């Protein structure tokens, strides 16, 4: 009864709202809700030129409206979908005004027939992920020329995910953070502006991948490394895979991988 009353209330508010734009829409709902209605609500606020969209959705399977992936008005998008729910996406995505993107427990799932994805974020400044995963992609290309902060906390156990190459073009990047088992290839391009990096990687024998990753961030001034990362780096250094950090002025070691700079949704 309470659930039905709440859904009717939201329907009436959105139906009677006659403004051409909505500044902020925040929605939190569990598995008991009718997701056809939830999808309709999201589509409605997107048509109303919503600028800030916050979604906390608990569902085993949920398909977001396709208009979300090329929304012209969004400046902030935050999505938390619970326990690694599938987030099916088109192979291309463009958010021309998006400045802040936060994704928690999201799986980007592609189509087996098209295994490359192209995501464009012309003005994106902050990109945060937590327990993030790519599925059914061979190559993902992310263009974010204005990006300053990038935090990737990735769910990428090599026994459970597909091999995937992640290309990130972010020439304005200042801060980079990665928590990963390096089941994916990470190619970060044009990082001449990078000042600080934080790495928590358990890479086993993926020497080529960790060597390439550290090669792209070797100009940093401040470097944070977890204890497991340092342990693996000792072996990496003995076989000549570790680059020289000529600009490094501050090396910091951290123990707790949960003690990160990730700002929760």
Domain locations in the chain?
Answer: 21-194
Q: How many CB atoms lie within 10 A of CB 67?
A: 12
The CA-atom distances, in angstroms, between 217 and each of 1, 190, 191 are 55, 10, 7
What is the reported pLDDT for 29?
A: 78
What is the reported pLDDT for 161?
A: 54
The helix or strand, by DSSP H or E, that contains position 100, with its residue range, turns out to be strand 100-109
Q: Return per-residue pLDDT of the chain as tens, 265 residues.
A: 556 777 777 777 776 666 678 899 998 877 656 777 888 888 888 988 999 999 887 765 667 777 888 889 999 999 887 655 566 677 788 899 999 999 887 777 666 656 788 999 999 999 998 877 777 778 889 999 999 999 998 866 655 455 788 899 999 999 999 998 888 888 999 898 999 999 998 776 677 788 888 889 999 999 999 988 888 777 766 556 678 889 999 999 998 655 555 454 5
Dihedral through CA 135, CA 137, CA 143, CA 144, nearest 10? 10
What is the reported pLDDT for 91?
A: 76
Determine the Cα–Cα distance for residues 46 and 22; give it in Å rounded to an integer.
9
Q: Are the C-beta atoms of residues 61 and 82 closer than 8 Å to each other?
A: no
What is the reported pLDDT for 230?
A: 85
Kindly write down the DSSP assignment for every residue of 182-213, as one continuous string: --EEEEEE--TT--EEEEEE--TT-HHHHHHH
What is the reported pLDDT for 18?
A: 66
Determine the Cα–Cα distance for residues 133 and 104; give it in Å rounded to an integer.
10
Determine the Cα–Cα distance for residues 93 and 49; give it in Å rounded to an integer.
17
What is the reported pLDDT for 157?
A: 62
């Amino acid at each position: 009864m309470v659930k039905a009353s709440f859904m009717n209330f939201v329907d009436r508010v959105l139906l009677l709202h006659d403004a051409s734009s909505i500044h902020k829409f925040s929605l939190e709902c569990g598995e008991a809700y009718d997701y056809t209605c939830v999808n309709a609500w999201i589509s409605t606020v997107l048509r109303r030129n919503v600028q800030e969209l916050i979604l906390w959705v608990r569902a085993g399977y949920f398909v977001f409206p396709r208009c979300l992936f090329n929304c012209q008005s969004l400046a902030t998008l935050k999505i938390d979908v619970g326990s690694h729910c599938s987030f099916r996406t088109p192979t291309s995505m463009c958010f021309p005004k998006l400045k802040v993107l936060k994704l928690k427990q999201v799986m980007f799932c592609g189509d087996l027939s098209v295994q490359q994805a192209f995501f464009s974020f012309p003005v994106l400044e902050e990109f945060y992920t937590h327990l993030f995963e790519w599925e059914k992609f061979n190559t993902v290309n992310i263009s974010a020329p204005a990006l300053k902060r990038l935090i990737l906390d990735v769910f990428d156990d090599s026994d459970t995910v597909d091999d995937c190459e992640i290309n990130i073009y972010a020439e304005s990047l200042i801060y980079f953070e990665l928590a990963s088992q390096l089941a994916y290839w990470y190619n970060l391009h044009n990082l001449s502006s990078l000042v600080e990096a934080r790495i928590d990687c358990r890479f086993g024998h993926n020497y080529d991948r960790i060597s390439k990753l550290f090669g792209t961030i070797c100009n940093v001034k401040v470097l944070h490394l977890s204890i497991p990362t340092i342990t693996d780096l000792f072996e990496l250094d003995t076989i000549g895979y570790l680059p020289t950090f000529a600009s490094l002025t501050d090396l910091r070691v951290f123990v707790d991988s949960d003690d990160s700079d990730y700002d929760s949704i």
